[in-house]
Amino acid sequence: MTRRPEAAPRAPLSRDRVLRAAVELADGIGIEALSMRRLAQELGVVPMALYKHVANKEQLLDGMVETVVGGIGLPASGPDWRGAVRHRILSARAALLGHPWAAQVIRSRSGPTPAILAHLDSVIGLFRAGGFSVDLTHHVMHALGGRVLGFTQEVFDAAPDPDPAARPAMPPEAAAAYPHVAELAGAAAHDGDSVVGGGCDDQFEFEFALDLLLDGFERLRLQGWTSGARRAGGGLIA
Amino acid sequence: MTRRPEAAPRAPLSRDRVLRAAVELADGIGIEALSMRRLAQELGVVPMALYKHVANKEQLLDGMVETVVGGIGLPASGPDWRGAVRHRILSARAALLGHPWAAQVIRSRSGPTPAILAHLDSVIGLFRAGGFSVDLTHHVMHALGGRVLGFTQEVFDAAPDPDPAARPAMPPEAAAAYPHVAELAGAAAHDGDSVVGGGCDDQFEFEFALDLLLDGFERLRLQGWTSGARRAGGGLIA
DNA sequence: ACCTGAACACCGTTCAAGT
DNA sequence: ACCTGAACACCGTTCAAGT
């Protein structure tokens, strides 16, 4: 019927189309299986055609990050620094949900993309407007770490199988060797949970830690904390 | 003089020697440059010789993790849960210092090695002995996340150049676009610091966040907190 | 029985040849 | 001038041939 026997999409390639296809492909097959060659195949083009739109694979990854982080909504501002920061961080988390490779890729890059800088700038701005000193804001941003972009901070990146029945039970000899882990796993099991990172309520765990930190920040702010108050080996509060 | 003209080491290969060489090589050239072929070359053997001692590269990485995590000292126990947990986590951090690839490799593996399980078990045990319920201990372990193994939780893994003069100054147009980031970077600069993750005092930032969390944990324990007390969108304390 | 070199199926990227 | 296929220097791992 047509002179083009290929069924491949015919839309002309563009940087944006390449990046959106890369994000979709990484979501589908995982970041470790994403290659320039595989991506080109998906787009129905020869591998070298991609190099017209991204200089190399590093730039492709940066562009993918930019695409995802750019999806974070604009900041809510207001007199309540705690609510505003909390909302902005949970927005970042929502934007990165469904792209489990994003945290790993961002951490592996050496520097921030413009969209990341814009996000960090807005969060820092919320702290400053809320009465935090430059000094305290600095340490507070470090304390949030990757959490400011919504990263979960589990020991293992990979989420276990969401079906509890598909997860192997802890064998008796392991339960004997690691009794405290077994106790936690056992108690969590009839909640549909597992050890650390298991089928737990990720959103609850994220907010639990976030709220602990935000409450701690507020206390330090009220105390007028400065880094001159460092005490070796002790707690931050007396 | 000898019938073997090669200068390569002659000690017979063993799993332990392979793992120690791999750790040393990853420390030196970085984890992304560590390959089976490069490691074999370093040991003066043919690549396939490694497969006598590790089944594949995944097992090599697991073994490397085991080697490093196995270096965490035994737990200090005592009546003071806070000091004991703090000491154990800082020991983990010390053991992983100098192996910047370890956090990334551990996170990328799908499950815990025995040494990691042993470490988690000991920390969980300290919380339980300190009067934490199974429920609270569960959420507290999630809140610590990778920090329980001493991971720093920065947005970017790679530490910038420790020499402040070697780090590029923020260009004026970037400072205009991201004024709050620029304010922090400027204030930190005459401390020899940079933005988030820059030449800051990593140990101080780690302990700052750790102490905030430990203080929060202690408050929840004293309150007799249970996860039944979840309140949507609010803080953990009133 | 043991060891190992060649081979396979990849990878990112360069480059020269073809249109 | 533009595009692209072959090629280069890798990679983890299989497998059969050689001792």
- pLDDT, tens digit, 9 for 90 and up, residues A32-79: 999 999 999 999 999 999 999 999 999 999 999 999 999 998 777 777
For residues B223 and A228, the model is more confident at: B223
Asked whether residue B138 carries a pLDDT value surpassing 60, the answer given is yes
Q: How far is B10 from chain A (nearest CA, A)?
A: 36
pLDDT-derived band at A192 (thresholds 50, 70, 90) equals very low
pLDDT recorded at residue A95: 96
Instruction: Determine the pLDDT at residue A230.
Output: 57
Interface of A with B in 76-105 (CB under 8 A): 82, 104
- Whether any strand C atom is under 7 angstroms from the Cβ of A48: the reply reads yes
CA separation for the pair B10, B13 (Å, rounded): 9
How does residue B162 score in pLDDT terms, banded at 50, 70 and 90? low
Q: Do A141 and B179 touch (CB under 8 A)?
A: no
- Per DSSP, the three-state class of B137 is helix
Q: Hey, are the CB atoms on A209 and B143 less than 8 Å from each other? A: yes
Alpha carbon distances (Å) from A148 to A140, A152, A209, B12: 10, 10, 12, 49
**Chain B residues close to A116, C-beta within 8 Å:** 155
Does the CB of A143 have a partner CB in chain B at under 8 Å? yes
CB atoms within 10 A of CB A199: 19
The reply to whether the CB atom of residue B36 sits less than 7 A from any atom in nucleic acid chain D is: yes
Kindly state whether B148 is in contact with chain A, defined as any CB-CB distance less than 8 angstroms.
yes
3-state secondary structure chain A: CCCCCCCCCCCCCCHHHHHHHHHHHHHHHCHHHCCHHHHHHHHCCCHHHHHHCCCCHHHHHHHHHHHHHCCCCCCCCCCCHHHHHHHHHHHHHHHHCCCCCHHHHHHHCCCCCHHHHHHHHHHHHHHHHCCCCHHHHHHHHHHHHHHHHCCCCCCCCCCCCCCHHHCCCCCHHHHHHCHHHHHHHHHHHCCCCCCCCCCCCHHHHHHHHHHHHHHHHHHHHHHCCCHHHCCCCCCCCC
Inter-CA distances, B230 with A223, B56, B237, Å: 27, 45, 11
Q: Which of B109, B141, B212 sits opposite A213 (nearest CB)?
A: B212
Judge whether residue A162 has pLDDT over 70. no
Distance from CA of A152 to the nearest CA of B (A): 8
Q: Look-up: residue for tokens 């936690």?
A: A184
Are the beta carbons of B121 and A179 separated by less than 8 Å?
yes
Question: Is the Cβ of A8 closer than 8 Å to some Cβ of chain B?
Answer: no
Which pLDDT value is given to residue A108? 92
A112 pLDDT band (50/70/90 cuts)?
very high
pLDDT at B8: 43
Q: Does A30 touch chain B (CB under 8 A)?
A: no
Question: What is the average pLDDT across B16-28?
Answer: 95
Residue A12's pLDDT is what? 77
pLDDT attached to residue A141: 97
Q: What is the largest CA-CA distance in chain A?
A: 81
Lowest mean pLDDT among A114-128, B25-39, B173-187: B173-187
> With an 8 Å Cβ cutoff, are A146 and B135 in contact?
no
Is B187 in contact with A237 (Cβ distance < 8 A)? Answer: no
pLDDT tens digits for range A67-98: 999 999 877 777 799 999 999 999 999 999 99
Contact B146, A138 (CB under 8 A): no
Q: Check pLDDT > 50 for residue B238.
A: no
Lowest mean pLDDT of A111-115, A188-192, B96-100, name the range.
A188-192
Using the Cβ of B168 and the Cβ atoms of chain A, whether some distance falls under 8 Å is answered with no
Question: How far is the first Cα of chain B from the last one, in angstroms, to the nearest whole number?
Answer: 81
List CB contacts (< 8 A) between A178 and chain B. 117-118, 120-121
Instruction: Please say whether the beta carbons of A146 and A153 come within 8 A.
Output: yes
Does the pLDDT of residue B57 top 80, yes or no? yes
B66 touches chain A (CB under 8 A): no
Chain A contact for B139 (CB, 8 A cutoff): yes
Mean pLDDT confidence for A209-231 = 90
Least confident stretch, A214-228, B44-58, B94-108, B222-236: B222-236
pLDDT score at A191: 55
Q: Is the CB of A107 under 7 A from strand C?
A: no
Which tokens belong to B86? 């703090």
Give A175: exposed, middle or buried? Use CB within 10 Å, 0-12, 13-18, 19+. Answer: middle
Domains of chain B: 15-55 (1.10.10.60), 80-228 (1.10.357.10)
Nucleotides of D under 7 A from a protein CB: 3-6, 10-15
Weakest mean pLDDT among A126-140, B43-57, B110-124, B216-230? B216-230
Distance from the Cα of A180 to chain B's closest Cα (Å) equals 5
**With 80 as the cut, is the pLDDT of residue B32 above it?**
yes
CB atoms within 10 A of CB B173: 8
Residue A40 CA and nucleotide C4 C1' are separated, in Å, by 37
In this structure, what token pair is assigned to residue A147?
């959490």
